[in-house]
Amino acid sequence: MGRVGIFTLDFKFYHDIIVDLRKWKIPFTSLESTSNIPRDVAVVLSSEKDERFWDRQINARDSTYGIRNSLPLLMNREVFDEVVIGLDPGPYPGVAVIADNVLTEAFETPMIEMVRKEVMEIRDSYRYRNISIKIGDGDKPHRDRIIQDLAETGIDLKVVDERNTSMPHKIHNNALSAARIASLGSIFVPPRNSEKISKKDVYDREFLTIQAALNNVF
């Protein structure tokens, strides 16, 4: 499995990137110098304040940008061919990203007004050739509000049938539904009502996660 290397003189960035890499469950190592970079380091993350010293170095404005921007390099490619943003409309919208069939992130926003900001940050921080949005057709008032907010982002948006994306209801959450919406028409197979699925393993069971993708690369 490839690792992220961290080299920075910016203490805040160093703290933030370690916290977020652990949250994203991406392996990393701290580099003591710019020479003799370990062979399994696929990309080096530094602050935008640091000097550039390597062609596979990302000088990031913040930790989230750095991680998102590094993902294709970690998966042994320069950019993703296709990034799909899935949105589960509602008062607490779910947002998810599937990049070349890999579920890279899924989360819930605390308010509908934040969806546009999150989508714009995703648009500006991933490396890709094409990007699009799939939004579920449920909760019409919130759905229409989100579509209106995203009208001028320049991202192609499609309303999709979200039936079965909240099954089984006992483990339903908006982030999971958004991930399923993003994968509609590709890898998502709705679970049967009788299936016993726990919150703990539902993502690994239904999607190709970052960790599984990295294990397949190296």
Instruction: Return the HEC string of the chain.
Output: CCEEEECCCCHHHHHHHHHHHHHHCCCEEECCCCCCCCCCEEEEEEECCCCCCCCCEEEECCHHHHHHHHHHHHCCCCCEEEEEEEEECCCCCEEEEEECCEEEEEEECCCHHHHHHHHHHHHHHCCEEEEEEEEECCCHHHHHHHHHHCCCCCCEEEEECCCCCCCCHHHCCHHHHHHHHHCCCCCCCCCCCCCCCCCCCHHHHHCEEHHHHHHHHC
pLDDT value of position 161 = 87
Q: The tokens 């019409």 sit on which residue?
A: 140
| Residue 85 · residue 133 · CB < 8 Å | yes
Both 106 and 196 in one domain: the answer is yes
pLDDT value of position 143 = 94
Q: Does some domain include residue 92?
A: yes
Number of domains in the chain: 2
pLDDT value of position 172 = 61
Q: Taking Cα atoms as reference points, which of 91, 94, 93 lies closest to residue 203?
A: 94
Both 53 and 115 in one domain: the answer is no
CA atoms of 98 and 188, how far apart (whole Å) = 11
Q: Does some domain include residue 176?
A: yes
pLDDT value of position 112 = 96
Both 118 and 201 in one domain: the answer is yes
Enclosing domain of residue 27? 3-74
pTM of the shown model? 0.90
CA atoms of 153 and 191, how far apart (whole Å) = 33
Both 40 and 127 in one domain: the answer is no
pLDDT value of position 168 = 57
Both 92 and 148 in one domain: the answer is yes
Residue segments in the chain with a per-residue pLDDT below the cut of 70: 1, 167-172, 185-200, 217-218
